[in-house]
């Protein structure tokens, strides 16, 4: 397979346990993420990859009931979890998506894949400059680069955060930046890590379910928030990449 999406998910989040199974609109967060990813026209397969911890059994059950393929691996060594799944699938490129991105925009994924298809020398493509809203993250990693990181990453933070070794050793990889094609939207936070995030995302889902538009895209959300500017303030106090910051503090 050429392009495989691996959606990182678990139920043991310290900030918001069981968040992937909470409902947004009429479906759980994880089902919304998977369905939006599957709208991509250029991917070959989608897996939810979780860990062997027992608290993930409800997540695995939800996936099984909805014909979503699951891989189970290490809880804390997420790099190993990605590598082992990619190795078994014989994937050429791995697309990393996290389950806290329930407004994922599949169009940008297709755009990113086209960039990689047109330049097979790229080892890693991502929004390095962080111009997308937090929650619309896209990362594409060539298997050889993932394997090199898996063999050489030693820091706990580099094992927990899949692509951190690549970012920390940029001279060893061919890295491409993939910026938001609309404008710099980095001030928007559409991820799901905190209670306030859930409040904002619920408002967004309620809006588009009300008008029967499940396939809403980035421009739709922006128009809605422009009409309801106070909603942006709901979760604006939280910094981007809090999980990574905490990992680095522990080291």
Q: What is the pLDDT of residues 158-206, one digit of tens each?
A: 999 999 999 999 999 999 999 999 999 999 999 999 999 999 999 999 9
Q: 167, exposed or middle or buried, with CB in 10 Å at 0-12, 13-18, 19+?
A: middle
**What does the alpha-carbon distance between residue 77 and residue 133 come to, in Å, rounded to a whole number?**
26
251, pLDDT greater than 70: no
Residue 243 has a pLDDT of 59
Residue-wise pLDDT tens digits, 94-134: 999 999 999 999 999 999 999 999 999 999 999 999 999 99
pLDDT at site 239: 87
Predicted pLDDT at 18: 86
**Backbone φ, ψ for residue 77 (5° rounding):** -90, 80
Rounded mean pLDDT, 146-166 = 97
What is the DSSP secondary-structure string of 49-110? EEES-GGGHHHHHHHHHTT-EEEEE-SS-HHHHHHHHHHHHT-SEEEEEETT-TT--HHHHH
Q: Which pLDDT score is estimated for 248? A: 46
Instruction: Determine the topology of domain 3-250 in CATH.
Output: Spore Coat Polysaccharide Biosynthesis Protein SpsA; Chain A (3.90.550)
Mean pLDDT on 27-40: 98
- pLDDT above 80: residue 246: no
């Amino acid at each position: 397979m050429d392009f495989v999406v691996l959606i990182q998910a678990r139920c043991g989040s310290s900030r918001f346990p069981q968040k992937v199974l909470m409902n947004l609109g009429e479906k759980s967060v994880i089902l919304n993420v998977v369905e939006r990813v599957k709208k991509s026209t250029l991917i070959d397969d989608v897996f939810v990859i979780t860990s062997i911890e027992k608290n993930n059994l409800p997540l695995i059950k939800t996936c099984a009931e909805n014909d979503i393929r699951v891989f189970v691996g290490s809880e804390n060594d997420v790099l190993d979890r990605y590598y082992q799944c990619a190795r078994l699938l014989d994937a050429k490129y791995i697309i990393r998506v996290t389950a806290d991105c329930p407004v994922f925009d599949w169009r940008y994924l297709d755009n990113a894949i086209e960039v990689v298809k047109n330049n097979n020398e790229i080892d890693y493509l991502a929004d390095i400059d962080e111009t997308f809203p937090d929650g619309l993250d896209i990362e594409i990693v060539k298997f050889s680069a993932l394997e090199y990181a898996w063999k050489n990453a030693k820091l706990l933070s580099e094992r927990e955060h899949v692509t951190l070794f690549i970012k920390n050793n940029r001279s060893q990889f061919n890295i491409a930046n993939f910026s938001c094609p609309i404008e710099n939207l980095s001030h928007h936070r559409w991820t799901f890590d905190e209670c306030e995030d859930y409040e904002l995302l619920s408002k967004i889902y309620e809006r588009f379910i009300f008008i029967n538009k499940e396939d809403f895209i980035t421009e739709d959300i922006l128009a809605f928030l422009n009409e309801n500017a106070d909603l942006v303030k709901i979760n604006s106090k939280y910094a981007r990449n809090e999980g990574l910051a905490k990992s680095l503090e522990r080291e």
